[in-house]
Amino acid sequence: MQKATFAGGCFWCMVSPFEEQPGIHGIVSGYMGGELENPTYEQVLTGETGHLEVVQITFDPDVFPYEKLLELYWPQIDPTDATGQGNDRKSQYRAAILYHNEEQHRLAIESRERLDKSGRFDKPIVTGIEAASVFYPAEEYHQNYHRKNPKHYKESRIYSGREAIIEKYWSE
């Protein structure tokens, strides 16, 4: 098993695209990248801790290679936005691929370069590719939020601008 970690705005919206894929053994919402140990949601929500909201995926690369995770990741975000996603504008909503080894680093860079050269976007791809650091799982009520609170989750996806991003850049 390996770990993959992705930031793409609100972590609630980043779980469902990856679940129920063959070879995916777990998805945990959490925080990565800040200086504060064991941050709470309320602390991260201020945008002042340096953490990103992330999903950490445990996967079997023989069944579901990292390249496929990258293919699922890109259509969930606006990769040209360096300051957040949709209406989620604080620093914790910045998009980034957080790699766990050199192969993931290389594959993420290659994937970003292909996307940048694809002509799909009229602005450069600015999604960060950064080394993974300490992962702090989010509070239990954030885990599988889309299943626990489907009505609020759906409203949040629309309000956050996630659906508009997907429609604008990825509808084809």
**Measured between alpha carbons, how far is residue 66 from residues 38, 50, 125, 170 in Å?**
28, 26, 20, 20
**Residue 13 appears among annotated catalytic residues:** no
Q: What is the DSSP string of 82-114?
A: SS-BTTB-SGGG--EEEESSHHHHHHHHHHHHH
Structure tokens at 112: 């970003």
In the sheet that 128-131 helps form, which strands lie side by side, from edge to edge? 128-131, 96-99, 2-7, 52-59, 24-32, 135-137
CA distance 155 to 70: 26
Q: From the candidates 4, 10, 96, 132, which is the catalytic residue? A: 10
Residue 73 one-letter amino acid: Y
CA distance 137 to 39: 9
CA distance 109 to 52: 20
Instruction: Please identify every residue annotated as catalytic.
Output: 10
